Structure 1
Amino acid sequence: MFFPVNISPRLVVVTTIFLGTLPGNALQLEPYTETISGTLITFDMVPITGGSLSVADPANSDIKRIIKIDDIWIGKTEVTWQEYDVWQLGLDHEPAKRRQIATESRPSRPYGAPDWGFGHSGFATLSVTVHAAQEYARWLSEKTAKNYRLPTTDEWQYACYLGIGVTTARERTIMPNLNVEDRDSVAWHFGNSGRATHPVASKKPNTLGVYDMLGNAGEWGRGKDGSTALHGGSYQDKATTIHCGTRSEQTRAWNSTDPQIPKSTWWLSDAPFAGFRIVRDPRGEESVR
């Protein structure tokens, strides 16, 4: 199945980025590796220095908008099945206690194989609703006493644009686009994926050291108006349509074969391209400790 993104395929042009800590945020962030307690599962987080950038509207390059974010960490890769399975299967508990975990707080059994046979170990989590992704981040926050969540659209796009490539000056300019050859080196897309996802970090990272922001699995994020969408395109999208401005909102087709009424709040039976990446927001971490 091929679900084209609902946005103009023209690349978004980014003008200028001003890097630097925003007022009221003087944190010095460093990369780190998190270990999920009770397991040997780890994942890496990469710091993103807050700042602002100006981007052109994909439909009208004369219209600009300013993106501002605070300092955050972002996942080096998309959340993998190993990480997600700890939560959904209760693998951080002894086997005898796993049955006691409240079913309403963990995903129900999926309809079909959510990994679609693409691969499990080392592969991005797939077929998940935005609700499931948010609940995973909530669980991880409680478990680690850190403020993990889904990225906002601004945070996701800021990290993506910044990672495409910048000059060394304080006032930094993003490359206006990536040609198909460049995208081949960093993204799994319709033309090179064989119509399947691939292990995370099997393409080159961007300049921030972050993998797979373009292609492979689409990544959930939330806009200022509360709307949710997948960002960055997926292995199903053509190379010419995946870029930092690519967004795809959920449609009925994404869970059309789910026989449940109402449809599952955890799984998208027909969206083998729906994954996610987490960020850590250091603000407000006292509330999760």
Structure 2
Amino acid sequence: MSGMHTDPNAAADAATDATADSDTADTADTVDSDTADTDATDAIADATTDVGAADTKAALHGEDLALGYPATDEPVVETERVDVPAGEVTALVGPNGSGKSTLLKALAKQLKPDAGQVLLDGEDIVSYGPKEFAREVGLLSQENEAPGSTTVEELVYHGRYPHRGFFDAVTETDDEAVDRAIDLAGIDHLRDASVSDLSGGQKQLAWIAMTLAQDTDVLLLDEPTTYLDLHHQLRVMEVVRELNEDAGVTVAVVLHDIAQAARFADNLIAMQDGAVYDWGPPAKVVTEGLLADVFDVVASVDTDAPDGPVVHPHHPVR
């Protein structure tokens, strides 16, 4: 798109957030997940779960992780193993404060582990520089704010920052990536609108389009449906599913709605009190026991529904 100008500093904030500088990775090995058939009751007792799936390659793999913040004396998340299988959609679920977003920040290279490591295609992510990592992994965090009176199209062009030098002009490849992202998000009619004038759901789709324009093989989304009406919740999750099925993009998404996660995700990582309670396909993970233990809800689960387990909540655990 000739004459298109973007603010590189704003682009850096939007596309790479808080990644740490490091040397370029030289090699990329493949990590195979081990089979783990962990009983949920044992997982509570151990406060961690060995997770994995046979013959499944993990795009992102964490091992022996202890995650905390400067203000915390003890880790807020500890897990021996966590996998985000390549080419699939994985949803991180659990109540508030269970550690979902903290774990996603570690996978996104925004939070350095106190112990353990996160591997991207077999290589420790600390070896990736900010732009290099942003070319591999896209992140949409919870809180985003477009600078000034940015239009939707300008915002989406910010997603191309990892692929360009500081003073490089917009290329045909950039134009094509932006057009694809806007089309996939279904917001072509909003291309020239100011982001500040959009509804909450429209803004979220615009930010998702910006992240899609990074053209990464892995996409991380932190609560993308929170505060959206039902229509836009479903639209966002349809975009995620379409991106995965049509382009093979690996997705990890934090969701509050266990029913929504069971419908749209291939795998669930259920978290409780900073530990992985259980992980696997929804049909395995979504049980009446999990709903009672993790979400404090008495519910029944319909396992015969065509789109995955359907949760019928009855009342809180008393």
Structure with the greater alpha carbon radius of gyration: 2
TM-score (norm 2): 0.29
TM-score, structure 1 as length reference: 0.31
